[in-house]
Amino acid sequence: MNTSPPDLPGFPRDSEGPVFKEPWEAKAFAMVLRLHERGLFTWTEWAAALAHEIRAAQSAGDADSGDTYYQHWLRALESMVACKGATSDEELGRYRRAWAEAAERTPHGQPVELRSYDIGSAWISGETHR
């Protein structure tokens, strides 16, 4: 069985290829492809990680209507890079907090911009900047 991403069950696509609602979805997709190309994981490992995240979300009440597919994709990506030692849970947490802080200070409708101090040592000490 070919388990490349377009062959995965539930993969959002149309006649021209993958479909993304938001730019971050395309970026997460591209990151998975690149990390696979670099040998971080096999498609079988990726399919298992993604299936695990989807099952966990369904168990938690996700209606599985397709609109949360790339949220599962992102969680699987985070899990995979931590499991493979490409990053740590601490580093992932630091980036999550940085993006949350950046989103909080950004006016509605404007692009969210991550600043260098968002992910610097201030996050390690628990300080925030506004």
SS3 18: strand
Q: Distance between CA atoms of 49 and 70, rounded to whole angstroms?
A: 13
pLDDT for the residue 123: 44
SS3 129: coil
**pTM for this entry:** 0.67
pLDDT along the chain (130 residues), means of 10: 53 72 88 94 95 94 86 93 87 86 90 82 45
pLDDT for the residue 10: 58
